[in-house]
Structure 1
């Protein structure tokens, strides 16, 4: 039987079709295998993290740790960033960006500043000096909420959010903050309040966005938020004196200072800000040595304020908490006397650990050089850095800080639960960003640590050398993977909750 050209073509087409179907089938099977492997790895890590967290259960006969925290409070008005900007500014999308603005004065500066941080996926907090424009923006947001139900109101402020988290973790809490009658009921009644009642709370406008959101040609690489405020109460730390008086009889195990990023220069008369920071310093130095002092960093852009914090606050605390952007900013200020803007939104663990070591060494050397002249200074003994993909905690070996591994695990789980707005962690709704192993430093031949069933939270000890005499100090470092939400529901306040949960675990 003769084979015609047409039959040959059909035969080849059939063969190609069969190959394509087979290839597609193999691809589907392979993808299913890869997905199953990823799900299995996530489930194993989740099981390990939960087991470590479970080891933190406090004895019923053990007294609750006492935590005091300041300063300030506000009301957060949260709205979807891109919907809000597109609704009220249409196609008015800036061709250039300007992330370095310390103060936003007008709409053009707002749009340029937002575009810069949005395209970098970086958290930002900026003050708007134009109070009239800020009220107008809040009015826009409220109107949008009436028409689309697209806004949410929350209790805000670093101190109240951390206070609530400490309370949820079983602590006895004293909060230094002024609040209105509307805001006070949102705070658990068990939390003691040192601060006057005020008629109206400051409002923070929270522009939230998700990974992949677009605004013109800009695309967000990760979920985050841009915070805009024009406060009149919080910059002055109005509850500072009331908290100082309450501390005299409260005797906390931990004192937390936060919210100092609100102290924008334009709010103060000459010398006034320094006077308030001196009061913060006195509050810190008046605590006995068995009270641990912690400073929670935030989004700072004004170099002068950071330099003042280095003088009035950093020498008198035992512990620091911050995200990857704040870490890079602090490292640059300490090493080079300059600030940085947005950094890598997902930095390598080795890079972050090296920056933590640099900050730690810088503060140790400052302590050695100045402690004789000022015996009230404290030697730093803890740094906690929280990122999208992992938690890293460094503590001095033999210090008052305990449970470093459990604290890292707790912080990682809190990150997921808060951002996902769910206490239940579904492995199928999780992204595992980290690899199975990581280098402990960017230096050559640095040891590598594995993350897996045997070690869901790798920890190790090492010696850090510092000072002209090359002194050696032993530290413990723990890194916990974060089970990242596939769909972030709330990022504002995440850092406060993460830091507070980590601290609570180490008391």
Structure 2
């Protein structure tokens, strides 16, 4: 489900908007100039951090590609709902599956309001075909390669690499006995045992992190997590995932003939920031530069341009953040000239970088896949 959308204009909307823009430049305040300077400094610093490790100097290993692919038809979500007469609903509601237009409108409203990512399977073939046909007629529609593995592959093959990806098919209605049944939520132990314990790197967004933690702790999965979590909250969740996975990995290696791998890399991407945990002495390199590259890629993908324009971006990460929710935890200020903050804890390093959030959205679908791939580019 695409998160893109634009508000409907009132009769004189364009005229009023243009007038406001003119006034904003005419009466430009010193504070605005300071903010522009700040974004310029953050951008140049992130670019410098990214450029410390040239892609041409990075080894290019052979990587297998697998699991899941499709073709995406990308349209403006609100425009699509307008076209099929479902622009407004007074009842935002979550549905595991989409069978009709009312459920689509309710699910869209449920996730769109907080700006949260969501994918839902359309069970009704006729309704799905109607959506595709309606989308074909919308201005600005475009086709793109879709699915976790192909999107990551495309991002990495631009610099001569290949990728391994696992498409979770969240809520897909597998029938009893079908191959791939372990991907369902009801088979979380199998997923943990056969996939997570054999992966030394995990990448996810702010919705998937708390759900993975819930899975590890045996709790229920949350349908909608905080779409804009604080840095301290995310870091605490990452530490707990790292600890639990590695504890279970050791236990599994002692009791199973198939030796589990320790988790040595964890990357979480949110709208506001990127965060990485990398084990000391592991094969993962250039963590600071990789975090910066992931941050810049978020803007490039959403804005649809390799060149980042500070006038089309803003910082929404706090000016300083606590490294943990624990009382008395250290606070780290955001330094424009050194925006990527890295420090050591226990047996790992943590890096956090702000994202220059794109304000003129071109595309959100596939953003996480491209960001995850970018984070790996400089580390393998």
Indicate the TM-score class for this superposition, using the shorter chain for normalisation: 0.7 to 0.9
Q: Aligned-pair RMSD on alpha carbons?
A: 2.2
Residue 102 of structure 1 deviates from its aligned partner by: 2.1
Total equivalences in the alignment: 356
1:270 aligns with one of 172, 177, 185: 177
Residue 404 of structure 1 deviates from its aligned partner by: 0.6
Larger Rg: 1
- Supply the distance in 2 between the matched residues of 1:332 and 1:261 (Cα, whole angstroms): 18
> What is the correspondence of 1:414-429 to structure 2 with a 5 Å cutoff?
414-429=297-312
TM-score, with structure 1 as normaliser: 0.66
Q: Which runs of 5 or more structure 2 residues have no equivalent in the other structure?
A: 1-23
1:356 is matched with 238
Q: Which runs of 5 or more structure 1 residues have no equivalent in the other structure?
A: 1-26, 174-254, 278-299, 464-473
> What is the correspondence of 1:325-336 to structure 2 with a 5 Å cutoff?
325-336=207-218
Q: Contact 1:71 / 1:258 at 8 angstroms: preserved in 2? A: yes
Note the alpha carbon deviations across 1:71-117, whole angstroms, 9 max, x for none: 232111111111111221246x4332322x32222222222212111
1:461 aligns with one of 344, 356, 366: 344
4+ long deviations beyond 6 Å: 27-31
Note the alpha carbon deviations across 1:213-263, whole angstroms, 9 max, x for none: xxxxxxxxxxxxxxxxxxxxxxxxxxxxxxxxxxxxxxxxxx623213267
TM-score, with structure 2 as normaliser: 0.88
Q: 1:441 to 1:29 in 2, by over 3 A?
A: farther
Tell me the SS of whatever aligns to 2:260.
Answer: coil
Residue 30 of structure 1 deviates from its aligned partner by: 9.6
1:201 is matched with none
1:404 is matched with 287
> What is the correspondence of 1:24-39 to structure 2 with a 5 Å cutoff?
32-39=29-36
Tell me the SS of whatever aligns to 1:164.
Answer: helix
1:393 is matched with 276
1:497 is matched with 370
**Structure 1 or 2: more strand by fraction:** 1
Note the alpha carbon deviations across 1:458-500, whole angstroms, 9 max, x for none: 000011xxxxxxxxxx110000111111111100011000000
Q: Contact 1:44 / 1:452 at 8 angstroms: preserved in 2? A: no
> What is the correspondence of 1:273-284 to structure 2 with a 5 Å cutoff?
273-274=180-181
2:80 aligns with one of 81, 84, 94: 84
Tell me the SS of whatever aligns to 2:254.
Answer: coil
Q: Contact 2:197 / 2:260 at 8 angstroms: preserved in 1? A: yes
- Comparing 372-381 with 316-325, which one deviates more in the overlay? 372-381
1:319 is matched with 201
Q: Contact 1:461 / 1:476 at 8 angstroms: preserved in 2? A: yes
- Supply the distance in 2 between the matched residues of 1:428 and 1:273 (Cα, whole angstroms): 46
1:50 is matched with 47
- Comparing 37-46 with 490-499, which one deviates more in the overlay? 37-46
Q: 1:398 to 1:29 in 2, by over 3 A?
A: farther
Q: Contact 2:121 / 2:171 at 8 angstroms: preserved in 1? A: no
Q: Contact 1:354 / 1:441 at 8 angstroms: preserved in 2? A: yes
**2:256 corresponds to 1:256:** no
Q: Contact 1:171 / 1:504 at 8 angstroms: preserved in 2? A: no
- Supply the distance in 1 between the matched residues of 2:98 and 2:373 (Cα, whole angstroms): 30
Q: 1:63 to 1:335 in 2, by over 3 A?
A: closer
RCO (CA 8 Å, sep 6+): is it higher in 1 or 2? 2
Q: 1:73 to 1:491 in 2, by over 3 A?
A: same
